[in-house]
Amino acid sequence: MKRIPMLIDGRWVGDDHDEWLPVNNPSTGEKLTEIVNGTKEHVDLAVKAARKAFESDEWRAIKPFERGQLLIELAAYIREHAEEWSLLECQDVGKPLSQAKADIEAAARYFEFYGGAADKVMGDTIPIEDGLLNATVLEPVGITAHIVPWNYPIQITSRSVAAAIATGNAVIVKSAEDTPMTTQKIAEWFNNSRLPKGIFQHITGLGSVVGAALSSHPDINHITFTGSVGTGINVMQSAAKNVVPVTLELGGKSPNIVFADANLEDAVQGVLNSIIQNAGQTCSAGARLLVESSIKDEFLSKLVERFKQIKVGPGHLDYDMGPILNEKQFTQIMNKLKVASKKGQILCGGKRANIEGYENGYYLEPTIVDGLSVDDDLAQQEVFGPVLTVLNFDSVDEAIQLANSTEYGLVSGIWTKDIDVAHFVASRMRSGQVFINSYGAAGGIQMPFGGYKKSGIGREKGFIALRSYTQVKNIAIKFKQY
């Protein structure tokens, strides 16, 4: 791909006077393209253009159903170019091609879903007293900033951008410096659309510079951020200084709880899929296995056998699992495994996978670690790699206590045939999503997604996400009584 400029106020910004950053293919280590290393000044220009576009008569004249039609047109365009966009996502992130294809379809579904919702965002009438007509209307918040992580760039861009534009906002997307390519494709489409210039803008660069400038800008009206807890806290603190609301999705250490009566084959496959998807580089990864003691040995035997069958390789060859994003991520994971190996037992994996012809990629064997204490770092903190920690329990109460024992609360999986146990445990989970006898079902476009505790604030996906991009105005009309 040619160099990626920024889209600001309908113009492509980036020339030889700018600093450019390389974007590499995690599968091969080769450079794919370059992005502009954006500055605070670029952010100021984008925010100014967004404000002008948002307040323009041209934008106000576009009816909600017309915004919806436009988003549905984008969904069709994404599907029309699905093969090309899937390969870009695969090359950019390193994930297997089939997973990239699923991400592209999910992106289309987000634009389709919120396109259909655009003219259905309605207020209420509230009975007060005779002679008073009271109504609420939902209005767009204004300028929304979307700071996107590197692990699911097309999905996470699409799910928040679609909801924000459906409700009438002006959008500024800051893509991850490692994975900007499919967001750039969305930017190209919007720039050629009939929307006013400045309603959709794409800026690039380092999070410490561009992301910080966005989150602290006094004319931003809402910030959506997905990433680490530490950065999320910084975003929230910056936003608080301007009294700006945030939606934060900050990761997790999600459990799969397997009871003795579960269908073990289904549970094995569910646990496996939940930790190897995108090489475990997933906020909602099922990174903890909590298994009932009476079946632990049997279950682990089956699981280790399946882990050893996983084929690891470059994304475009569509093996089961691709590489870790870069050397920094890979080194962090290996350092954590080194510490964990002294406290517990690595049942399988734990080593670099050497892929002939792809020695410059950072490949890791899928890993299972047993024998750790519940308080050990690897059992508590997000690894962001294909590393599963194992703990066992002897009672329902102990399972619940272990499941809720981390500072995160994003997703939980419960595997049992007992409907009473399933519902009771689900009612006690401190997590934003609970799946029973499944995990991450069908991508969940319609399912509210977000966390308890340090997994974040607010919800994305589904109709509830639309509320993040609107504000309520109450209008009371007094009329004369006869």
Distance CA 151, CA 154 (A): 9
Residues 6+ positions from 192 with CB-CB distance below 8 Å: none
> How does DSSP assign 463-481, residue by residue?
GGGGGGGEEEEEEEEE---
Are the CB atoms for 368 and 300 separated by under 8 Å? yes
Q: CA 267, 338, 370, 393 torsion: positive or negative?
A: negative
Q: CA 256, 262, 265, 266 torsion: positive or negative?
A: negative
Distance CA 232, CA 227 (A): 7
Distance (Å) of CA 401 to CA 105, 395, 433? 37, 10, 17
Tell me which amino acid residue 350 is.
G
Are the CB atoms for 160 and 146 separated by under 8 Å? yes
3-class SS at 110?
Answer: helix
- Residue 391 phi, psi (nearest 5): -135, 155
Give the catalytic positions in this structure: 249
